[in-house]
Amino acid sequence: MWLGVSVQIAFGCALATGTGLALMLSSPWRRGMVATGFPLSFALVGLASGLSALWWLLPLAVLALAYPARAWSDAPLFPTSAAALDGLDELIALPEGARILDAGCGLGHGLQALRRVWPHAQFDGTEWSQPWRWLAALRCPWATVRQGDMWAQSWSDHDLIYLFQRPESMPRAIEKAQREMRPGSWLVSLAFEAHGQHPYARLQHPGQRPVWIYAIRDHGAATTRSSACRV
């Protein structure tokens, strides 16, 4: 009892507040996290009240394994929705048997979205976290998923590079694409634009994040001569 309010009522109010805030979000994945965050943390505190404090180090160890310190400068795990890239094949003409790389593939959601668009392409994924790499390989057995540093890996052998990173990563990605990718190849970024660069096209589905498309025209250039937009 606190301020004349029972624990049950206080818990119900907190749960209702979390659920209400979750309903305001557009992504089902985010809604689930926000809605379950409070009751899950409440349950864990209750279950762990009689355990040694050392047990609290276990989640930290799991987090450190999944997200090594070297990967903190890249984007956190945030899946690409299944239909986010639908229609890319109408804007980008890839050769038969094209090689596509998901740089920073996480659990493989981006690879699956790319395969939905280009089912006959060759797919590669690079992921720094070894647990995520294992899971991505299990979820995408038709792709070659390697553990490694996406920034150290050469992009020169691929026809298209797909990124879902963060705004701060885009200047580095554009510079790497300009330096390594051959003319006629493509850099595709979900959500984040490379400011200062002219996109070849922008794909925008209702309720989805924009997809920014950059064409490598000549060595050292990721610009466009005629910009297209599909909304």
Does position 1 have pLDDT exceeding 60, yes or no? no
Q: Which CATH architecture has domain 88-230?
A: 3-Layer(aba) Sandwich (3.40)
User: What is residue 64's three-state secondary structure?
Assistant: helix
Give the pLDDT confidence of 112-164 residue by residue, as tens digits. 999 999 999 999 999 999 999 999 999 999 999 999 999 999 999 999 999 99
In three state form, how does the secondary structure of 92-156 look? Answer: CCCCCCCEEEEECCCCCHHHHHHHHHCCCCEEEEEECCHHHHHHHHHHCCCCEEEECCCCCCCCC
Q: Residue 217: its pLDDT value, please?
A: 83
Give the pLDDT confidence of 162-175 residue by residue, as tens digits. 999 989 999 999 99
Find the range with the poorest average confidence among 6-15, 88-97, 184-193, 220-229: 220-229
- pTM for this prediction: 0.71
Find the range with the poorest average confidence among 47-61, 111-125, 207-221: 47-61
Mean pLDDT of 223-227: 44
Q: What is the spatial distance between Cα 155 and Cα 150, in angstroms, rounded to a whole number? A: 9
Does position 224 have pLDDT exceeding 50, yes or no? no
